[in-house]
Amino acid sequence: MWRLPFLGNLHQLLGPFPHHTLRDLAQKHGPLFMYLKIGQVPTIVVSSPEYAKEVMKTHDISLASRPKTLVAKTVSYDSTDILFAPYGEYWRELRKICFQELLTPSRVKAFQPIREEESFNIVKLVASKVGSLINLSEMTRRLSYNIISRAAFCNESSDYDEFISIMEEIVKLSGGFAFGDVFPSLSCLDWYTLSKFNYYKLRASRIVERIIKLHTDQDKEIKSSTKKSGEEEDLVDVLLKFIRNIFGAGSDTSATTIEWAMAELMRNPRVMKKAQDEVRQVFGEKGLVNESSINEMKYLKSVVKETLRLHPPVALLIPRESREKCEINGYEIPTKTRIIVNAWAIGRDPKYWIELESFMPERFVDSSIDFKGNNFEYIPFGAGRRICPGISFALINVEFPLAFLLYHFDWNLPNGMKNEHLDMTEKFGITICRKKDLYVIPSKYDPPSMVKAQKI
């Protein structure tokens, strides 16, 4: 593939949707493993399951580090959180804390009452607007934010509107151009973008700190005399970075996935009816909406899987960087090479998916394909050592609220809009969200659980 002096292949990546452009380049030039020079940065782009397996399994340890991008330097506190930290002893300790302490199955299950209460709060809000046009995107953001904030800090935050606006600005900035990411020698030119990142990071940190202060003020049993100095303060810093990860990335990706799922269901009435029938049958037989029934809903789980295939929250997985030289299928990968895995393109590989642009949850109903990084044709959460550590937490924060919305309401598009005319345009950033908010009209469905709740 030809390159320009200084720019390399950068000119070929122009456009609003880099994940689309990279897929098209891979299909045109093949094989689906491209070497590009993006500015001054040697870059490998992976767009096929076969090479994704090479990167994230066969040579996982050689390619497990992270580059220091502008986002990593700013939003992730100079690459010190679990998402952006370079591979090494520090990152391994972060990972151990995450898997063994913070996001264990028992801890995720302990947040069940929070999810149930916040989901029911949204149902009450939607019920008050039956027959009226509502912004479902805004409501899902509020729902996810409240669940995450209560799970992280054991209380609700009154800073919802400010935090959401901050996250939207950070997502917008992350989808923009940073000189230092492609021309490290020109990183000084990022002063304006850097100042914007730092401004929004400071505002987000103040919100988190206010919530932490409220939480600690309410905890009467914690006394300063019991604290140890030095090592424990370092642990507190580590835990705060985890909390910021969960609070920011967790709320944004969960809300985005619920929003895409509802949009796809609105466009596909057959799928919507089938999902609602299953949810209403399972919950209706029990007479109460509860989280323990989610595992009985194979079709709902397939709806979520299909949503993540077509709309992975992070279309271009967080870039990796080679720690040492290695060879993949005859290609030598030098040290400090950036590796971009196009999860969006891999989920549309025609060798693995039939009717790849169609929303067909049925493809997952009797399938053994999962999210855990064992099936490289389906990696919405990544794979290998750098797989997303919060998969189980993220999934239940999508599945249960979605089941709640499908159970309690029927849904229509406004102004007689035809299903196929619903705008599905993306907006590129850290997460790939909808360009336009989803507006719908709910109509009330009176299941036994609502009647029971009203009597309480």
Q: What residue numbers does the annotated binding site cover? A: 388
CA 371 distance to own-chain centroid:
13
The residue type found at 446 is D
Cα–Cα distance between 424 and 410 in angstroms, integer?
21
The residue type found at 434 is R
Asked if 74 and 201 count as a contact pair (C-beta separation under 8 A), the reply is: yes
Cα–Cα distance between 18 and 430 in angstroms, integer?
12
Query: How many helices (DSSP H) and strands (DSSP E) are in the chain?
Result: 18, 11
Asked if 137 and 421 count as a contact pair (C-beta separation under 8 A), the reply is: no
Bridging pattern class, strands 41-46 and 338-341: parallel
CA 114 distance to own-chain centroid:
20
The residue type found at 226 is T
Helices 251-267 and 160-174 pack at an angle, to 10 degrees, of 80
Which residues are known binding-site members for heme?
A: 388
Asked if 377 and 46 count as a contact pair (C-beta separation under 8 A), the reply is: no
DSSP string covering 186-220: GGGGGHHHHHHHHHHHHHHHHHHHHHHHHHHHH-T
Cα–Cα distance between 98 and 109 in angstroms, integer?
15
